[in-house]
Structure 1
């Protein structure tokens, strides 16, 4: 007897064929799609009657540069989506890797699910992943003049600029970061009689 998750995985494998890799881990089904097949696969996931993933729950960016303590040798950036089928009551995770680490570009799925609009803007803002076909790809969480993408693993913790209110100019100003990097070593004080009572 097959479980519901195994049934979903086999249905996905038969419908998607060579266009995707389907796996089960920790009770969840994950579909890994190549960037060239991404838009068509997402459309199939929504429109195929045996699947009917009609709701996009989430879409986020991921930076795999230090994944597995630096043992990762695949593409650096990915977009991960979570889909829900209300008709069949099942969920699936879809992962697609951007082929170019220097300029990560993926197809937009806003034409498939309108809910992808702000999710793709967030992935662009925080990770620098560009979504081709998105009609309003601009920053959503950081300031419009912000430099860089703060969730990338190589982004400095202190950032590049700091913002403060200047009472003389009566406005917010931006200036280079003035925080000096330092290593904090905890000071440990041990008593001679510690633990001997």
Structure 2
């Protein structure tokens, strides 16, 4: 049996009510926004409640909304969010859940690893690339960048060239880190035309 997005949205409103900060139906997909205080409870209910049965966590990622215009959407001061994609095999439908961190300086949301163990590496990736902390995660450490990496490379304010570079030092016989030696420059594409009109 396939549940259509309108039916799913109605059921979400009926069950969660005020726990939903927002519910968006767009392009045949449903997105709910929840407060981080109720996030673990809502996620547990989405998995266990027979009216939803979202058994599978498909994806979890961090998002940096800096410069996105959140002030107009009533989300002033909310820069970092965690977005989770869920799948109900029983009802053949999908759901997107978004939760914002309260503090931009140290973004933190609860871990949902106890609900879906598959969230483990996804949460580590969001921590590694965005600096989002997951309260209750048993092993939150970098997963893609080097242990000595400085900063969070998917943040919008992270410089394109980075802060440090590494190279192998022949004298020391080891890899060393040093300040970036690349000078930022603007690359303007060169257009070459053969002078013939229309390329003929």
TM-score, normalised to structure 2, is: 0.90
Shift in Å, 1:196: 9.2
User: What's 1:55 paired with?
Assistant: 56
Structure 1 residues 91, 193: closer, same or farther in 2, change over 3 A?
A: closer
Structure 1 residues 99, 193: closer, same or farther in 2, change over 3 A?
A: same
Specify the SS of the correspondent of 1:57.
strand
Shift in Å, 1:192: 6.0
Structure 1 residues 192, 58: closer, same or farther in 2, change over 3 A?
A: closer
Is the aligned partner of 1:8 residue 2:8?
A: yes
Shift in Å, 1:23: 1.9
**Cα deviation per residue 1:3-26 (whole Å; 9 max; x = unaligned)?**
721111111111111101322101
**Cα deviation per residue 1:83-110 (whole Å; 9 max; x = unaligned)?**
1111121110000011111111101101
Specify the SS of the correspondent of 2:187.
coil
Mean CA deviation greater in 146-155 or 95-104: 95-104
Is the aligned partner of 1:90 residue 2:90?
A: no
Aligned length: 192
User: What's 1:109 paired with?
Assistant: 112
Specify the SS of the correspondent of 1:11.
helix
Shift in Å, 1:72: 3.0
User: What's 2:70 paired with?
Assistant: 72
* Structure-2 separation of matches of 1:22 and 1:164: 49
User: What's 1:27 paired with?
Assistant: 28
Shift in Å, 1:151: 0.1
Mean CA deviation greater in 133-142 or 71-80: 71-80
Structure 2 gap ranges (5+): none
User: What's 1:45 paired with?
Assistant: 46
TM-score, normalised to structure 1, is: 0.91
**Cα deviation per residue 1:22-74 (whole Å; 9 max; x = unaligned)?**
2210110111111111111111111111001111110000000022xxx3323
Instruction: Compute the RMSD of aligned alpha carbons.
Output: 1.7
Mean CA deviation greater in 45-54 or 165-174: 165-174
Structure 1 residues 187, 100: closer, same or farther in 2, change over 3 A?
A: same
* Structure-2 separation of matches of 1:132 and 1:184: 43
